Amino acid sequence: KQEVTQIPAALSVPEGENLVLNCSFTDSAIYNLQWFRQDPGKGLTSLLLIQSSQREQTSGRLNASLDKSSGRSTLYIAASQPGDSATYLCAVDEGGAGKSTFGDGTTLTVKP
């Protein structure tokens, strides 16, 4: 059974700092990995999708990496801003059948 863990559960940083969020998964036979952002009480906004054959994806100040062999992914956020405050979730898709397994998220607070 796939298990996804995100560490830390919460993180507070001053504005402008670069930071890394971690995601680990137990079964490396994944199809892809997706990072999402969730604001309180809201739905999920997709940030980055990494296919299993890829090593990283970039979008603006965000960079996500994937190491299937070690069962790890990281989300790097450069020059953090208060507007980045949210919960960040990673999800692994196993075999493309639509069943994604999520971690419990990292809640990020960026202080002005």
Partner 1 sequence: DAGVTQSPTHLIKTRGQQVTLRCSPKSGHDTVSWYQQALGQGPQFIFQYYEEEERQRGNFPDRFSGHQFPNYSSELNVNALLLGDSALYLCASSNWDGRPHGYTFGSGTRLTVV
Binding site for partner 1 (CB under 8 A): 4, 31-32, 34, 36, 41-46, 49, 89, 91, 93, 96-105
What's the closest the beta carbon of residue 16 comes to partner 1, in angstroms? 28
**Residue 90 CA neighbour count, 13 Å, CB half:** 28
What's the closest the beta carbon of residue 79 comes to partner 1, in angstroms? 25
Are 21 and 74 spatial neighbours (Cβ–Cβ below 8 Å)? yes
Nearer to partner 1, 84 or 103 (CB): 103
Sheet strands (E) in the chain: 4-7, 10-14, 19-25, 32-38, 44-51, 56-59, 62-67, 72-77, 86-93, 100-102, 106-111
Nearer to partner 1, 34 or 73 (CB): 34
Q: Which of 48, 81, 43 is nearest to 62 (CA)?
A: 48
Nearer to partner 1, 18 or 51 (CB): 51
What's the closest the beta carbon of residue 32 comes to partner 1, in angstroms? 6
Nearer to partner 1, 29 or 79 (CB): 29
Q: How far apart are CA 42 and CA 58, in angstroms?
A: 24
What's the closest the beta carbon of residue 109 comes to partner 1, in angstroms? 15
